[in-house]
């Protein structure tokens, strides 16, 4: 029988080796492919899934549950977990024939909530920073953690409505999959393993060895064969990968999956990271899209997007590139955890947009501003002076130094920035309307920064279909008039050997000292995972962007 080991997690994109060859990293697309093959694999009469204590995003949990559910309909799927969170319970409840946990395990199923930290008092009253942010769209609220001591009514309504819809999908799944009353218990944890069994959240108590024996018995199998995760041996094709890398060549499948993961960085920012936060760069993604646009062997592109947004300019540049592809071949979008703000800007290019019920979409709006430190420096005896070349004009210094952290905005500059933001907001609406083939007023009704679950997004016309990456690939085959078994592959963008020898752009980041986020990552990987999307979506400000299409917070469901 097949063994699926999830203890290392299922990231959207695994960390590849520096040289681009060697064992391929385990990622979400690889897991879905493995489960798709297992569904009709007669040599695998059952599946054993080991969760360990891992957790991942709720939208990925929903897709995993769907994939496991299809396997479960044809053969037993026996699951073992040392601990379950909100989201791993979601996946296990729907996808597993039976769930086993050691008596020392726990089910941390406690319901869904969001927390936000408001820093205005610290930044303004204590540190004397001048915080100057503007927004277009009354629900956008990206600056609220910096400018308020609590949420605005609009921001509260947007977030609570989305969380409520996410909760209904989560509980509804548990309600259908588990015995009566389990959905009520799901919000009442944490539970020790015995209590969780009594509540119907798990089925059996036992260690992984017990689960393996039970799985072999249920499937009538003599042995367990690893199919995904850390137990899988390196691919026998590593040498072939090396040769293709040295030659700079890869065989092209008719369907290519392009990942758009992380914050959207500023054009010309060089690296795909800032402060250790990986993201989407205009240079790298454009290079990928141009190659696919001109490759006649590629008949369809599936954009897998998981992004809180970032640079409004980069979002528009990549929107244009994606629309060029759409004009020549099939383009389908699959939303992972979120396609928010700039992320949705990119997603709107899809001929068909797929999202999970629990994905986050929308946040159509812009925000911009800066934090000026001059007043704070004055408090410690440091004075900053701006000298304008245009003598005699009191506004010249404020305008010439409007991007500087050493001078706050005057009213005229603030008005000019807001005018630019309004223009970009209107462009954002127009781009989404064009991509979706809908009137601008239809999009505007769901804009102004509001966020939605995938299910609500479908009702509003922001999403076409509820489904995951598998469903998006299947749709791409249909739209491109390809056979049902047409191959799909992830575009890895491996560099040629000579490029590797020539120190790729961004290699200088290897020499930098540790940033605050690097320190957080080492001390608490879980906290880092929470902070990175939010911090990353705002980092274009450090590269000179003053107008962003970014989600104002990070939603993490465990």
The tokens of 330 are what?
């099939």
Handedness of CA 349, 28, 56, 514 (dihedral sign): negative
Any residues with CB less than 8 A from the CB of 239 and at least 6 apart, and which?
none
Rounded to 5 degrees, what angle do the CA atoms 60, 65, 68 make?
120
Residue 267 has pLDDT above 60, yes or no: yes
Domains of the chain: 2-112+162-228 (3.90.226.10), 120-150+369-409 (3.40.1750.10), 248-314+325-359+461-549 (3.90.226.10)
Pairing of strands 300-307, 330-340: parallel
Burial track 190-223 (b if 16+ CB lie within 10 A, e otherwise)? ebebebbbebbbbbebbbbeebbebbbebbebee
Asked which of 167-181, 333-347, 426-440, 490-504 is least confident by mean pLDDT, the reply is 490-504
Concatenating the DSSP letter of every residue in 127-143 gives S--EEEEEEESTTT-TT
Active site residue 458: no
Active site residue 395: yes
Which whole number is the average pLDDT over 488-504?
A: 56
Residue pair 319/348 in contact by the 8 Å Cβ criterion? yes
Q: Which of 109, 341, 359, 554 is catalytic?
A: 341
Asked which of 192-196, 216-220, 403-407 is least confident by mean pLDDT, the reply is 403-407
- The residue with greater pLDDT, 262 or 511, is 262
Which whole number is the average pLDDT over 444-455?
A: 94
Which whole number is the average pLDDT over 377-397?
A: 75
Question: For residue 471, what pLDDT is reported?
Answer: 95
Instruction: Give CA–CA dist 448/376, Å, rounded.
Output: 33
Q: Which of 121, 217, 395, 487 is catalytic?
A: 395
Greatest mean pLDDT among 312-316, 365-369, 451-455 lies in 451-455
């Amino acid at each position: 029988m097949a063994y699926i080991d999830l203890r290392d997690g299922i990231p959207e994109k695994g960390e590849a080796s520096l040289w681009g060859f060697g064992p391929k990293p385990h990622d979400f697309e690889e897991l879905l492919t493995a489960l798709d093959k297992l569904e009709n694999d007669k040599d695998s009469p059952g599946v054993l899934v080991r969760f360990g204590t891992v957790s991942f995003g709720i939208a990925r949990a929903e897709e995993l549950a769907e994939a496991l559910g299809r396997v479960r309909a044809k053969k037993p799927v026996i699951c073992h977990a040392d601990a379950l969170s909100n989201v791993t319970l979601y996946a296990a409840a729907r996808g597993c024939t039976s769930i086993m946990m050691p008596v020392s395990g726990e089910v941390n199923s406690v319901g869904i909530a969001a927390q936000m930290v408001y820093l205005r008092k610290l930044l303004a009253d204590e540190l004397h920073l001048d915080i100057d942010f503007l927004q277009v769209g009354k629900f956008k609220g990206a600056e609220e953690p910096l400018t308020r001591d609590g949420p605005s009514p609009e921001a509260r309504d947007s977030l609570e409505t989305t969380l409520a819809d996410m909760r209904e999908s989560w509980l509804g799944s548990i309600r259908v999959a588990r015995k009566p009353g389990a959905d009520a218990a799901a919000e009442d944890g944490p539970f020790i393993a015995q209590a969780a069994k009594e509540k119907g959240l798990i089925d059996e108590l036992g260690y992984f060895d017990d689960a393996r024996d039970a799985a072999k018995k249920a499937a009538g199998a003599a042995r367990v064969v690893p199919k995904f995760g850390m137990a899988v041996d390196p691919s026998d094709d590593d040498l072939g990968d090396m040769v293709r890398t040295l030659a700079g060549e890869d065989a092209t499948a008719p369907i290519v999956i392009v990942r758009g993961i992380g914050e959207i960085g500023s054009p010309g920012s060089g690296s795909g990271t800032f402060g250790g936060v990986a993201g989407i760069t205009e240079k790298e993604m454009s290079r990928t899209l141009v190659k696919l646009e001109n490759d006649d062997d590629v008949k369809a592109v599936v954009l897998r997007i998981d992004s809180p947004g970032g640079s409004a300019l980069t979002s528009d540049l990549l929107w244009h590139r994606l629309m060029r592809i759409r004009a020549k071949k099939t383009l389908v979008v699959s939303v992972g955890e979120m396609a928010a703000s700039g992320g949705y800007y990119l997603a709107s290019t899809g001929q068909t947009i797929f999202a999970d019920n629990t994905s986050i979409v929308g946040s159509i709006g812009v925000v911009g501003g800066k934090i000026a430190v001059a007043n704070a420096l004055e408090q410690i005896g440091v004075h900053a002076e701006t000298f304008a070349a245009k003598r005699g004009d009191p506004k010249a210094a404020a305008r010439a130094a409007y991007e500087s952290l050493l001078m706050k905005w005057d009213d005229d500059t603030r008005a000019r920035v807001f005018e630019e933001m309004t223009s970009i907001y209107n462009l954002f609406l127009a781009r989404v309307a064009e991509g979706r083939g809908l009137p601008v007023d239809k999009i505007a009704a769901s804009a102004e920064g509001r966020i939605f679950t995938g299910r609500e997004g479908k009702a509003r016309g922001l999403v076409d279909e509820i489904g995951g990456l598998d469903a998006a690939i299947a749709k791409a085959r249909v739209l491109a008039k390809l056979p049902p078994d047409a191959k799909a592959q992830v575009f890895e963008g491996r560099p040629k050997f000579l490029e590797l020898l020539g120190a790729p752009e961004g290699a200088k980041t290897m020499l930098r000292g540790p940033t605050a986020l690097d320190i957080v990552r080492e001390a608490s990987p879980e906290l880092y995972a929470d902070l990175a999307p939010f911090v990353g979506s705002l980092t274009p400000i450090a590269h000179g962007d003053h107008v962003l299409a970014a989600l104002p917070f990070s939603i993490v469901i465990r």
